[in-house]
Amino acid sequence: MAGADAADLPALGIDVGGTKVAGGVVAPDGTVLATARRATPGSSVRETEDAIAAVVEVLARGHDGPLVGVGVGAAGWFDRTGDTVLFSPHLAWRNSTLRKDLAARLQRPMWVGNDADAAAWAEYRYGAARGADLALMITLGTGIGGGIVMDGRLQRGSHGVAGEWGHMRVVPEGRLCACGNRGCWEQYASGTALGQTAREVARSSPAAAALLLERVDGDPDRLTGEHVATAAAEDDPLALELLAEVGAWLGQGIADLSAVLDPEVVVIGGGVSVLGEMVLGPARQRLGRALPGRGFRPGPRVMAARLGAEAGIVGSADLVRRAVADGPG
């Protein structure tokens, strides 16, 4: 397929998460034309690849016309080339040759990489970071991931694992993280952190958490970030305070990233981002107080992602389209 032809054709984008494999047929303008999904059998490499292949088959069979190829964004750490999944915390991949295996199976051109990288690219091409010279994506969900787009290129780092800033240490000897370190950023500014803080408050001050505890029959161990988000939407004072705390930690981390990278825009995506200004407002306030050189330099714009849950699909599709259009090298 010639490069010029590839730029004008739809592509398949696949987003592999801990619970589902979601896919779509994506037009060159970023429009999602059709979707399909399967559950993710995360404990088995083969069964996860089966689920990816099943979604590709459903979408390809239902599309009338040629497709450029298949882009796959997955939750995991990839090497620089995208050939190998070094590690995935919620899936079975360990030094797995995902791109080679899928290319042999699907017989289509492939792009394979980190799901947050794909989302960052989608926001740069079609969303809140469109046209920025240096854009950071921060995905807030169970943990914190992200991606970097600089000078029109996705930056994956020397070893392929750039953007894993959820594991910056912000509190020395703080909460234990799944990565093995203590005090990581995602232990204070994520959906998991929101639930953990709520449980801690409910255990130590049940009266203050009375409205939250009503949602879980008085059992603080059952509280989750979702409970807090729902309560905040109903103006529960404690829930709003907990969200503001997550937002403040988010703003502090953005200030730290700004000291190193000086981004034009920071886009906030992931499940927690749907809470909007309840989190982003406190984040901007903390950023304004913590930005190095504040008052003498501009800081980044902090914006909510525009593409929502489809960002990984749209970004993966555009990345395989770009790879085919650019050709080898």
Claim to verify: residue 118 and residue 150 sit in the same structural domain: no
Residues of the chain with pLDDT under 50: 329
The CATH number of residue 176's host domain is 3.30.420.40
Claim to verify: residue 148 and residue 290 sit in the same structural domain: yes
Question: How far is residue 253's CA from residue 290's CA, in Å, rounded to a whole number?
Answer: 9
Question: How far is residue 281's CA from residue 259's CA, in Å, rounded to a whole number?
Answer: 20
Claim to verify: residue 119 and residue 232 sit in the same structural domain: no
Claim to verify: residue 204 and residue 316 sit in the same structural domain: no
Claim to verify: residue 113 and residue 165 sit in the same structural domain: no
Claim to verify: residue 112 and residue 165 sit in the same structural domain: no
- Which residue, 311, 315, 312, 320, is CA-closest to 102? 320
Question: How far is residue 52's CA from residue 23's CA, in Å, rounded to a whole number?
Answer: 8
**Containing structural domain, residue 283:** 133-305
Claim to verify: residue 145 and residue 294 sit in the same structural domain: yes
Claim to verify: residue 32 and residue 159 sit in the same structural domain: no
pLDDT on residue 1: 57
Claim to verify: residue 7 and residue 120 sit in the same structural domain: yes
Claim to verify: residue 233 and residue 291 sit in the same structural domain: yes
- The fraction of the chain above a pLDDT of 70, given in percent, is 98
pLDDT on residue 329: 47
pLDDT on residue 118: 96
Claim to verify: residue 93 and residue 208 sit in the same structural domain: no
Claim to verify: residue 316 and residue 256 sit in the same structural domain: no
Give residue 53's identity as a one-letter amino acid code: A
Structural domain count, the chain: 2
